[in-house]
Structure 1
Amino acid sequence: MKIVSWNINSVRFRIGIVEQFLREASPDILCLQETKVIDGDFPAAPFRALGYDHILIHGQRMHHGVAIVSRVPLVEDDRFDWQANKEARHIGVRLPNGVRLENVYVPAGGDIPDRDLNPKFGQKLDFVQRMTDWSAKLDCPTILTGDFNIAPLPSDVWSHKALLKVVSHTPIEVEALDRLKASNDWVDLGRHFYPAPARLHSWWSYRSPDWTKNDRGRRLDHMWATGEVAKAARAHHVFEACRAWEKPSDHVPIMTEFDF
């Protein structure tokens, strides 16, 4: 089974490259973040035309939004409010084999890494803490994937030194994500297959006039699994070429192949 995560940054605006990716990579399940569309306007028809008949969505006008589209049946969906303000940032399902799949869009956190000066940064840290509280009580095989908006390792960013005070790579964010990871012994599948310091970026800013030239990337997108599920993982891919497609997202898809 091939499972993909992709922050698409508006699914309607970029439906063309979504269709292209599905034809080329042929995943079984696609988890999308930042869909930026209410449920009633989600473009389901293009997905169904490609065989993705199972569509679960948690949308929001203009901002946020997550979705899971699949060629295999999905059941028991849930929507956790880890932001505590009803933003559409999570959707979870159960796969036919009983494994849970949780798709999450962690807040970016604004520009200033100080919760007193920047409430958005505090909201981000609180969001990750709520995830950690949930994770500590988790007692079923689970895959946790999405845009975590944190690059935890020095090799997860183009310059560890330059980004230590930049939101997404600050020590306090990294420590928060480390606590989440330790709360259930999660396996970071990207780093399982590509151990640090291998380059494994998944995001490049739109602000760069030529993202390929300076290559100032960060690994913000992740796929984690609980222990037994991680043993079934066979390969992991980062589709960097998608960043150069027409009307690209600033994120690229990541995919893990599982032997189930």
Structure 2
Amino acid sequence: MPKSATLKVATWNINSVRLRINHVTRLLDEHAPDVLCLQETKCPDDLFPEKAIKAAGYEHIVKSGQKGYHGVAILSRVPLENASVKRFCGKEDCRHIQATAKGVEIHNFYVPAGGDEPDPEVNEKFAHKLQFLDEMADWFGKAKQKTTTPRVVVGDLNVAPLEHDVWSHKQLLKVVSHTPVEVERFEQVLAAHDWIDVPRLFTPADEKLFSWWSYRSKDWAASNRGRRLDHIWASQALDGAAKSVQTLTDARSWEKPSDHAPVIAEFAL
């Protein structure tokens, strides 16, 4: 099958693109996605390390960054069209960017983490997270009514929705990222556009699947107390198109790693 007939998309919370630019270029070299979506770049646009990325063969770059916090970017070896960003919750946080590659509209999100206390009455960060998810659901619900354009959503969505998306369902029910109120909002976003949870097409819901392991664990691999916070969704126009999904767990062991592992999906077009 010619390359033009597939789209390979990767997502990775890189936790500082400048600090881990060698990790970025290693991923591009070893796995050669058509498109890599980064979150938590922590980099203003004028300091983004474009030179190293373009040298790796990824000449098409769109980004939305800010100093020290948040930030998203799309790197591509195929042309990107119709790039834009959307702001949520009346804030200027750089948490979304989109562009079209090979006719597929790609949305890259970094959903707020939500702080430590899962109570919106006392924790402004948690309230922000719930509002962000509500606005995502509303936006995608309206988009569904307008067009059947093939779409993919990727990113650090900061919710582990399923029982086996966390190392212990019972112990994490009151921990931010797996609380029932977050899961409910997350499911509303999924339902608003009839999104397909692509990694769970390949790993059944009753099997553990993680993409994040805390820095606090001395031996993250041995304890394996992970969560699935990084997601890839496809619209119904891509139903049946997903060919494969990989979670690159080994990247969590690279020198000075991100606490997230990259996730890669390939689609037939």
TM over 0.5: yes
Report the TM-score range of the alignment, normalised by the length of the smaller protein: over 0.9
Q: Which residue of 1 aligns with 2:219?
A: 210
Deviations 1:73-100, CA, capped at 9 Å, x for gaps? 0011111112421100000011232x21
Number of residue equivalences: 259
Q: Which residue of 2 aligns with 1:47?
A: 53
Calculate percent identity across the aligned residue pairs.
51
Secondary structure at 2:252's aligned position in 1?
Answer: helix
Q: Which residue of 1 aligns with 2:4?
A: none
TM-score by length of 1: 0.98
Give the conservation status (yes or no) of the 8 Å contact 1:189–1:230: no
1:171 to partner: Cα distance = 0.1
Matches within 5 A, 1:12-27: 12-27=18-33
Matches within 5 A, 1:1-260: 1-97=7-103, 99-138=104-143, 139=147, 140-260=149-269
- Structure 2 CA distance, aligned partners of 1:212 and 1:84? 39
Give the conservation status (yes or no) of the 8 Å contact 1:150–1:219: yes
What code does the residue aligned with 1:157 have? V
- Structure 1 CA distance, aligned partners of 2:259 and 2:16? 11
Q: Which consecutive unaligned segments of at least 5 residues does structure 1 have?
A: none
Secondary structure at 2:114's aligned position in 1?
Answer: coil
- Structure 2 CA distance, aligned partners of 1:173 and 1:132? 13
- Structure 1 CA distance, aligned partners of 2:157 and 2:52? 27
- Structure 1 CA distance, aligned partners of 2:209 and 2:90? 31
Deviations 1:98-149, CA, capped at 9 Å, x for gaps? x210000000000000001101000000000000001101122210110000
Secondary structure at 2:43's aligned position in 1?
Answer: coil
CA RMSD of aligned residues (A): 0.8
Deviations 1:36-94, CA, capped at 9 Å, x for gaps? 00000000011111110000000000000000000000011111112421100000011
Task: Report runs of 4+ in structure 1 exceeding 2 Å deviation.
Answer: none
Q: Which consecutive unaligned segments of at least 5 residues does structure 2 have?
A: 1-6
Secondary structure at 1:60's aligned position in 2?
Answer: coil
